[in-house]
């Protein structure tokens, strides 16, 4: 476990003085159902604290960096960048799911990849960092992960992983994984444009992009809209 902490700290870019705080930030409430020692211990308190820290950090940053934006504009940007899918995506990049302490039942139903659990874990870790250090350190950590999302919003670029959102929705509602197929490729080799179709049963969505990855995201985004899947755009 100590080695795992070192590996995770490397992914986080932060080394804890109090390793117990890090451990507690990774304990999902389901874990206590199977391990009596952790019956009253979970990351929910740290999540609450981290949520408050993140809210202040992002609000302060937007207030200072977007001087001409209205209160409504700032609130909309904040709601996007601190949304569950965005925070979950950040946790996935740091491989946080690998280190979560979950019940066997939660594990078997895909808990390590579930956006709600990963998003909560990001906030819990932030809360743990705040307690382990100070506000400025926690602020630096949060902005190092959130600032890119703010920049994407400013450029009207997508900040969500629509493929993951669609897959989680498909598995939850239909018990199947979406399939992707290249419909056509156009343009010269150095300027290819891909059109891809995503399918869930008879439900389809199409998207284009300069590479297969972006085309798949575009297709997934379209199908999410068709199916009424909730994303930050509904906020």
pTM of this prediction? 0.72
Q: Is 47 annotated as a binding residue?
A: yes
Nearest to 55 by CA among 70, 27, 73, 74: 74
What integer pLDDT is reported at residue 233 of this predicted model?
43
How far is the C-alpha of 78 from the C-alpha of 61, rounded, in Å?
Answer: 10
Nearest to 200 by CA among 182, 173, 218: 173
Find out whether 223 and 174 touch, Cβ atoms under 8 Å: no
Q: What is the percentage of the chain residues whose pLDDT exceeds 90?
A: 66
What integer pLDDT is reported at residue 66 of this predicted model?
92
Q: How confident is the model at residue 235 (pLDDT cuts 50, 70, 90)?
A: very low
The span from the first CA to the last CA of the chain, in angstroms, equals 39
- Phi and psi of 109, rounded to 5°? -100, 20
Q: What does pLDDT average to over the chain?
A: 90
What are the tens digits of pLDDT across the range 152-208?
877 666 667 789 889 989 988 999 999 999 999 999 988 899 999 999 999 999 999
Task: Count Cβ neighbours within 10 Å for each residue of 161-187 and write b for 16 or more, e otherwise.
Answer: bbbbbbbbbbbeeeeeebebeeeeeee
Q: Is 157 annotated as a binding residue?
A: no
How far is the C-alpha of 87 from the C-alpha of 122, rounded, in Å?
Answer: 6
Q: How confident is the model at residue 76 (pLDDT cuts 50, 70, 90)?
A: confident
Q: What is the mean pLDDT of residues 63-86?
A: 91
Domains of the chain with CATH codes: 2-154 (1.10.1520.10), 162-229 (3.30.160.20)
What integer pLDDT is reported at residue 1 of this predicted model?
42
Task: Count Cβ neighbours within 10 Å for each residue of 93-115 and write b for 16 or more, e otherwise.
Answer: ebebbebbbbbeebeeeebbebb
How far is the C-alpha of 5 from the C-alpha of 213, rounded, in Å?
Answer: 32
In degrees, to the nearest 5, what angle opens at C-alpha 86 toward C-alphas 163 and 124? 130
What integer pLDDT is reported at residue 159 of this predicted model?
63
Q: Which of 84, 106, 123, 168 is catalytic?
A: 123
Q: What is the mean pLDDT of residues 228-234?
A: 64
Q: Please tell me which of 31-35, 72-76, 83-87, 138-142 the model is most confident about, judged by mean pLDDT.
A: 138-142
Tell whether the model's pLDDT for residue 3 goes beyond 80.
no
What integer pLDDT is reported at residue 234 of this predicted model?
37
Q: Which of 51, 106, 132, 197 is catalytic?
A: 51
What are the tens digits of pLDDT across the range 88-131?
999 999 999 999 999 998 888 888 989 899 999 999 999 999 99
Tell whether the model's pLDDT for residue 232 goes beyond 60.
no
Q: How confident is the model at residue 230 (pLDDT cuts 50, 70, 90)?
A: confident
Nearest to 89 by CA among 17, 140, 165, 13: 165
Q: What is the mean pLDDT of residues 144-150?
A: 91
What integer pLDDT is reported at residue 34 of this predicted model?
74
Catalytic, 123? Answer yes
Local structure of 73: helix, strand or coil: helix
Helix (H) / strand (E) element for 43: namely: none
What integer pLDDT is reported at residue 203 of this predicted model?
95
Q: Is 123 annotated as a binding residue?
A: yes
């Amino acid at each position: 476990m100590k080695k795992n902490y070192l590996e995770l700290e490397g992914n986080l870019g932060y080394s804890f003085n109090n390793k117990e705080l890090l451990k507690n930030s990774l304990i999902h409430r389901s874990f206590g159902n199977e391990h009596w020692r952790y019956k009253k211990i979970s990351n929910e308190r740290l999540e609450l604290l981290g949520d408050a820290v993140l809210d202040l950090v992002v609000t302060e940053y937007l207030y200072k960096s977007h001087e001409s934006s209205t209160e409504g504009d700032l609130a909309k940007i904040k709601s996007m960048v601190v949304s569950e899918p965005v925070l979950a995506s950040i946790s996935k990049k740091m491989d946080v799911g690998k280190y979560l302490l979950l019940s066997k039942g939660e594990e078997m139903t895909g808990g390590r990849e579930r956006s709600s659990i990963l998003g909560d874990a990001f906030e819990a870790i932030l809360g743990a960092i705040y307690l382990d250090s100070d506000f400025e350190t926690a602020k630096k950590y949060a902005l190092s992960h959130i600032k890119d999302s703010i920049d994407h919003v400013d450029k009207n670029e997508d900040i969500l992983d629509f493929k993951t959102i669609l897959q989680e929705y498909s598995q939850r509602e239909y018990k199947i994984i979406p399939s992707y197929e290249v419909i056509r490729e156009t343009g010269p080799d150095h300027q290819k444009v891909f059109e891809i179709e995503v399918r869930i049963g008879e439900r389809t969505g199409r998207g284009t992009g300069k590479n297969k990855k972006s085309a798949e995201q575009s297709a997934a985004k379209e199908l999410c809209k068709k199916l009424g899947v909730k994303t930050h755009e509904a906020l």
